[in-house]
Each structure stands twice: as structure tokens, then as C-alpha cells.
Amino acid sequence: MVLIAPIPTHQTQSKTHTNNQDRTYAYDANGSMTKNGNKSITWTSFNKPKQFTKGTDSTTFTYGPDRSRYQKVQTRSSDNTTITTQYFGKVYEQIKQNTNTEHKHFIYLDKQLIAIHIKTDTTSTAGTSDTTNTPTTPIPDKTRYLHYDNLGSIDTITDGQGNIVERMSYAAFGERRKGDWRASDPLLPIIPALTNRGFTGHEHIDEMG
């Protein structure tokens, strides 16, 4: 038997956007959103997000006995790609995609994330192989430094020489956008690839929009 709970009156049920397209919203009995336009969300029994689905793409989270997330699996149908992220507390992540494994080490100062060190292992080959060795094209390690605004939102990323790699700003509801405030301009791919943190330090699931 399925019980349909009434939608709380303070929650949005539909909205017409600037392109005159209607978007409908749905919620479960806990008030958690289960539908947002063409995106659907399922939740665990302890009310944490389990899966986001957008068309034929999905992002799935797995939790341990303590209800802490330890894995994210992103499937992308456009290029038949699966990206698996393993979480080890707040200090280390391992991301596997195809033949590459990326290691992210998170560096904190006074409980605030200030830098990310990235090391990539790859099995891609280049040059001439012999019977004992297969040459590889290494991807250099890199460290990126995060700078925050007065609200605690990341607004600038620099490299080890102090050069600005990217700036970003935020729309009215916290969406990340380029630093010139032009909402129509998408962020460079480096931002979601580097950190999923944005407005006031909250996590963004960029692949789900």
C-alpha cells in the first residue's frame, strides 16, 4: 500500500521559467523533494539522498552503518562513462574513471578547506614499448588554493604560483557561475572537477544540474 501525503502548503508545486517551460515539483511525506522537472530523487530510510536521475544519467550514493557516505557512482550515457568516487572522511577522495585514478588530498586550516592536492595515476601509454616496460604519459601533480568571500563561499582558485585559475560567483539561490556574474556563461570544467563546494561551503552535484 502506498500512502500519498498532502504536500505542505509552503512548498513549491510548479513554476514557469523564463523560457515559458513549466517545471513541476513533488515531495515525499518527509517533505524531501522527489521530482524537479526532468530530475527525480530517491531517499534512504534515514532521509539522505540515495539517487539522482536526470534522463538516462544518474548519480548514486552509498552509506555505511554510521550513515556516513562512502561512495558516489556517476553514470553518463552520452559517452558511456562511469565515475566512481570513494570518500575517506573529509581529507581524501579517490576517483576512478576509465583507466585513470585520481587522488585528492584536502588540506585544512582552522577547520576550513584551504587547498587541494591532486595526483593522477594513469595507464595511458606513449612512446615505444619493449618486452619489460610500458612507457606512460604522467599527469603532473598539482595543488590548488581556495579563497573565500565574507559568506564563506569559494570565489577564487589559485595555483602554487599565486596565479588565478578561476573566479566564480553565485546566483540568487546559490548556483555557481563565472566570476563576471554572467549567469549565461557556464563555469570552466576545472571547477566541478576540482571541488564540489560552493555557496557558503555547501556541496553541489553539478552533473545533475
Asked if residue 74 is part of any domain, the answer here is no
Tell me the C-alpha distance between 199 and 183, whole Å.
15
Q: Which of 51, 66, 81 marks a domain boundary? A: 66
Q: What is the three-class DSSP state of 32?
A: coil
Asked if residue 4 is part of any domain, the answer here is no
Tell me the C-alpha distance between 13 and 198, whole Å.
26
Considering the domain architecture, whether residues 59 and 95 belong to the same structural domain is answered as no
Considering the domain architecture, whether residues 60 and 19 belong to the same structural domain is answered as yes
User: What percentage of residues in the chain have a pLDDT greater than 70?
Assistant: 76
What mean pLDDT do residues 159-167 have?
A: 91
Range of the domain at 47: 10-66
Asked if residue 158 is part of any domain, the answer here is yes
Q: Which three cell numbers mark 144?
A: 590548488
Q: Are 159 and 168 in contact (CB under 8 A)?
A: no
Summarised one tens digit per residue, pLDDT across range 9-58 is 455 555 444 455 677 889 999 999 999 888 999 999 999 999 999 999 99
Tell me the C-alpha distance between 73 and 60, whole Å.
5
Sort strands 100-109 and 39-43 into parallel, antiparallel or unpaired. Answer: unpaired
Considering the domain architecture, whether residues 51 and 142 belong to the same structural domain is answered as no
The pLDDT confidence band at residue 134, using thresholds 50, 70 and 90, is: low
pLDDT of residue 128: 47
The residues, any chain, with a CB within 8 Å of residue 76's CB and separated by 6 or more, are 57, 82, 83, 207
pLDDT of residue 12: 56
Asked if residue 34 is part of any domain, the answer here is yes
Considering the domain architecture, whether residues 118 and 50 belong to the same structural domain is answered as no
Considering the domain architecture, whether residues 58 and 109 belong to the same structural domain is answered as no
Q: What is the pTM of this model?
A: 0.76
What mean pLDDT do residues 77-104 have?
A: 93
What mean pLDDT do residues 127-148 have?
A: 72
Asked if residue 117 is part of any domain, the answer here is yes
Asked if residue 1 is part of any domain, the answer here is no
Domain count, the chain: 2
Considering the domain architecture, whether residues 14 and 61 belong to the same structural domain is answered as yes
> How many Cα atoms sit within 13 Å of 98 on the Cβ side?
9
pLDDT of residue 125: 53
Q: Are 8 and 27 in contact (CB under 8 A)?
A: yes
Q: Which three cell numbers mark 103?
A: 587522488
Considering the domain architecture, whether residues 51 and 119 belong to the same structural domain is answered as no
pLDDT at 157 over 50: yes
What mean pLDDT do residues 113-142 have?
A: 72
What mean pLDDT do residues 95-109 have?
A: 93
Considering the domain architecture, whether residues 44 and 101 belong to the same structural domain is answered as no
* DSSP letter assigned to residue 58: E
The residues, any chain, with a CB within 8 Å of residue 10's CB and separated by 6 or more, are none
Considering the domain architecture, whether residues 46 and 104 belong to the same structural domain is answered as no
pLDDT at 126 over 70: no
Considering the domain architecture, whether residues 51 and 111 belong to the same structural domain is answered as no
Considering the domain architecture, whether residues 53 and 121 belong to the same structural domain is answered as no
What are the strands, taking DSSP E only, across the chain? 14-16, 22-27, 33-36, 39-43, 49-54, 57-63, 69-76, 81-88, 92-97, 100-109, 112-122, 139-148, 154-158, 164-170, 176-178
The pLDDT confidence band at residue 203, using thresholds 50, 70 and 90, is: confident
Tell me the C-alpha distance between 174 and 209, whole Å.
12
The pLDDT confidence band at residue 166, using thresholds 50, 70 and 90, is: confident
Asked if residue 209 is part of any domain, the answer here is no
Summarised one tens digit per residue, pLDDT across range 169-181 is 887 777 777 777 6
Asked if residue 78 is part of any domain, the answer here is no
Considering the domain architecture, whether residues 134 and 194 belong to the same structural domain is answered as yes
Cell 521530482 sits on residue: 35
